[in-house]
Amino acid sequence: MLVAGGVNAADTTTAWKTSMTASARTGYDDNVFLQERSAVIAPNAVPYSAGSWVNSVSLALGVTWQPSPALAVDAGYSPELTRYARFHSENHDDHRFTTSLRGKDGAWSYDLKSSLLLVDGSSESPIYGHVGGTPAIGGAQVRDRRDQTVTKAGANLTRTVSPDFFVRAVGAASFQDFQTTHKPTTGPGAVPGYANYVDRSEWSIGPDAGWFFRKDLALVAGVRFGEQRQANLLGVKNNYSNTLTRFLVGLEGKVAPTLSLKFLAGPDVRRYTDSAAAGFDRTRTTRYAEGTATWTPLKSDSVSFSAKDYLWLSSGGRGAYESIVCDLAWKHTFNKTWSTVAGFNYQEGDNLDYVAPASFRNDSIYTVSGGVTYALNAKTKIDVSVTREWSDSAVANKPGREYTHWLVSTGITFTF
């Protein structure tokens, strides 16, 4: 139905719309396992500075049904197959399913989005046998190629009480189910350096109230109640599952005609279960902040920024860490044929307040990227992109955590 309907995708006389896009990409990754040259302390360690050609093909299918302003339903399926020329252990197939509901009826409006990602990859984790262990912040790029299921959902229901005041209910959930084999790293039958991954999840729900103190700009206050769960590793009762109460204040709306923002921040009160390590303070308060901003100084330019500062549970188990993620992106359109993008990403993972000194981590990752897109015609585009990434460890003498990484690729996209 999706494919056949694509022929009539431009027909606006019906409540149904469909889309289909196909893409192919090839590139070179000069450090597949995010490891630099350093002393090897475990057998069968992944190689350092290991380069490989990477090829992928993907398809994006979508359908929208909107019989009225009060109801719009979107659904999509996007399979992507990725193959590494030198390292077949890194081959993986991703299957992403998305759905959303949205609508507005009088003073009420709602929005619900969900996604399901199925990664069909290796069930064996990498062995990081270099001094310092896993790369910065757990080597997420390598981890994300392994067998796993990731489910996410978010929803809000808003009621406009008056032109200057609104209330809403907000909820969000995320579940990450790793399906890789667990192996001991010490003791009998140990595999030193093996990267174990444990399931983790978070959900939160709560109310917001907003007051428009000026046109298109509101002061918002809210509270969230929720829970984070972390599985035990190798049957050992040592996890940092907790309940949370989060108090938030912020702004959302238009600061200027060309600048929009949404920002919330406040204290985050956590209460941990008795499964945390002995002597751990089970009631703690940390910071929480999240925000987005979009600036369009010219019709041809747009700048977007997003940031999140929060406490998250380690995918390696037996700990939590303070996570900071910032994204800055700029897009410039020269004309109907040419456009360019540039971006900067910063990530930080700091667990110094949550684990024993022997497991201390304070990692940073910096990423700079750029690309150019050329439209062959209204339906076909080709692009070239370059990414430069490097990491740093504030904990000394841990070279396995620091790396440099280049990724150069080109791709073609066709919209049916």
When comparing pLDDT for 41 and 70, which is higher?
70
pLDDT computed for residue 14 by the predictor = 65
Count CA atoms within 13 Å of residue 158 on its CB side.
17
Q: How far apart are alpha carbons 324 and 318 in whole angstroms?
A: 20
Residue 380, CA distances (Å) to 19, 22, 23, 167, 285 in order: 14, 10, 10, 44, 51
User: Which domains, ranges and CATH numbers included, belong to the chain?
Assistant: 2-415 (2.40.160)
**Rounded to the nearest 5°, which phi and psi values hold at 38?**
-160, 175
Q: What is the DSSP letter of 3?
A: H
pLDDT computed for residue 41 by the predictor = 86
Q: How far apart are alpha carbons 218 and 289 in whole angstroms?
A: 17
pLDDT digits (tens, 9 = 90+) for 6-61: 333 334 446 899 999 999 999 999 999 999 988 888 899 999 999 999 999 999 99
pLDDT digits (tens, 9 = 90+) for 95-147: 999 999 999 999 999 999 999 999 999 999 999 998 999 999 999 999 999 99
pLDDT computed for residue 38 by the predictor = 86
pLDDT digits (tens, 9 = 90+) for 177-188: 999 999 999 999
Average pLDDT, rounded, for the chain: 95
Is 163 exposed, middle or buried, given 0-12, 13-18 or 19+ CB atoms closer than 10 A? exposed
Res. 3: pLDDT tops 60: no
Is 405 exposed, middle or buried, given 0-12, 13-18 or 19+ CB atoms closer than 10 A? buried
